[in-house]
Structure 1
């Protein structure tokens, strides 16, 4: 029978911790390594809703993309969000493991999944990793050139709906072919030469000032159009791929994934 330790060993083989960024904190967060595991549930975020869902399904392990504890904490009191999550997991005997930037940089990582969904060809990492097939972000070409608005609509059809929708900077009729993308927050790559050379950059969580500067570069003909999508939605696509990988490795473990929307916004007022 699989244990938390043996399942975590598979997780670390699929998404090696050595690939994680220095500021990140993936890995085992909650749980007894010797406890049996018969059911793993996948979600993007370890929040109260996904914890309750996992516990309600009888899962022994909640595997999430985003770490619950990025930095050291001084309390896990249950009147704090992180404390409430940890307490519910411990009481239910459900472990918690995070695979974050170590799951971004692998050949089947979050950006790769998004790139494959778009049908990009000639894919290569924006920031190369240890091998040719690994690294952060993806650059590739659309099978056929299309307008910027058509690309935004294709993303809208691919991604689960959220209140924030899809935001675009650029002429709707601009023809795009080369796409740079980074699933999750990607404004740190805005100045990368591969991004600047693309026709459009697709990512999430673009802040005002970096996005404004990038838009001005676009107007000067020196940078891409921008498409800002939900952080949760872009990374949620990866769960299906991750679940399939785990099923191939863990023959005695049920693997399920969450459809719960953990994007933080509930509604928007369009002006």
Structure 2
């Protein structure tokens, strides 16, 4: 029978911890290494809803893309969000492992999955990792040029629906051929030459000032149009790929994935 230790060894083979960013905290979060694992449930976020979903399905291991404990915690009291989640996992007999930037950086990572969904060709990482095919973000070409509004609509078709939808900065009729993208929060890559030389940049959580600066440069002909998408939606697409990889390695473990929307926004008023 598989254990948390043996399953985690497979997780680290698929998504090596050496590929994680220095600020990240992937790996085992909750659980005994000898804890038996018969059912692994994949989620983007470890929140009360996804924990309840996993426990309701009989899962004894939750594999989350986002780490529950990003920074040092001073308490896991149950009147805190983190403490409530941890208590519920332990009482339900489920372990928790996170695969975050180490799952972003591999050849089948979050950005690569989104790039394939858009049909990008000649793909390469924006920020190259240990090999030419690994690293953060992807830049590539659309099979056929399209307008910015058409690309925004394509994203709307590819991604699961969220309240924030797809936001664009740039002329609707701007012709887009080269696309840079980073699933999740990617404003740290806004100044990368691979991004500034692209026709459009797709990412999430763009803050006002970096987005405003990038838009002004775009108006000067020195940068891409911007497409801001849901952080959760951009990474949820990866769960299918991760599940397929795990099923190839873990023949005695049931693998399921969450379709719960854990994007934090419930609705939007368009003015």
Summarize the alignment of residues 54-203 of structure 1 with structure 2, pairs less than 5 Å apart. Answer: 54-203=54-203
| Cα distance in structure 1, aligned partners of 2:212 and 2:30 | 41
SS at match of 1:6: helix
Per the TM alignment, residue 132 of structure 1 is displaced from its structure 2 partner at its CA by 1.1
Question: Does 2:246 match 1:246?
Answer: yes
Equivalent-residue separation in structure 2 for 1:169 and 1:45 (angstroms): 28
CA distance in 1, matches of 2:132, 2:192: 18
- Once the two structures are superposed, residues 115-154 of structure 1 have per-residue CA deviations (whole angstroms, 9 ceiling, x without a partner) of 0000000000000010011011000000000010000000
| Whole-angstrom CA distance in 1 between matches of 2:102 and 2:124 | 17
Q: Deviations over 1:47-99 (max 9, x none)?
A: 00000000111101000000000111111100000000000000111000000
The separation in 1 between residues aligned to 2:61 and 2:176, in whole angstroms, is 42
SS in 2 for 1:256: strand
User: Partner of 1:224 in structure 2?
Assistant: 224
Partner of 1:31: 31
For 1:28, what is the secondary structure of its paired residue? strand
Q: What secondary structure is seen at the aligned counterpart in 1 of 2:180?
A: strand
CA distance in 2, matches of 1:71, 1:114: 28
How far apart are the structure 2 equivalents of 1:147 and 1:71? 41
In structure 1, distance between residues paired with 2:219 and 2:132: 33
Deviation at 1:155, TM superposition (A): 0.3
**Long gaps (5+) in structure 1:** none
SS at structure 1 position matched to 2:237: helix
Secondary structure at the residue paired with 2:179?
A: strand
Displacement of 1:195 = 0.2
Question: How many angstroms does 1:101 deviate by?
Answer: 0.3
Deviation at 1:109? 0.2
In the TM superposition, residue 200 of structure 1 has moved relative to its aligned partner by: 0.2
Q: Tell me how many residue pairs correspond in the alignment.
A: 271
Please state whether the residue corresponding to 1:151 is helix, strand or coil.
Answer: helix
Rounded to whole Å, the distance in 2 between the matches of 1:108 and 1:132 is 13
Q: Where in structure 2 are there 5+ consecutive unaligned residues?
A: none
Q: Report deviation, 1:179.
A: 0.2
Q: Tell whether 2:243 aligns with 1:264.
A: no
Q: In structure 2, what is the Cα distance between the partners aligned to 1:184 and 1:251?
A: 30
**Superposed displacement of residue 259, structure 1:** 0.3
RMSD, matched Cα: 0.4
TM-score, length-scaled by structure 1: 1.00
SS at structure 1 position matched to 2:62: strand
State the 1:32 CA deviation: 1.0
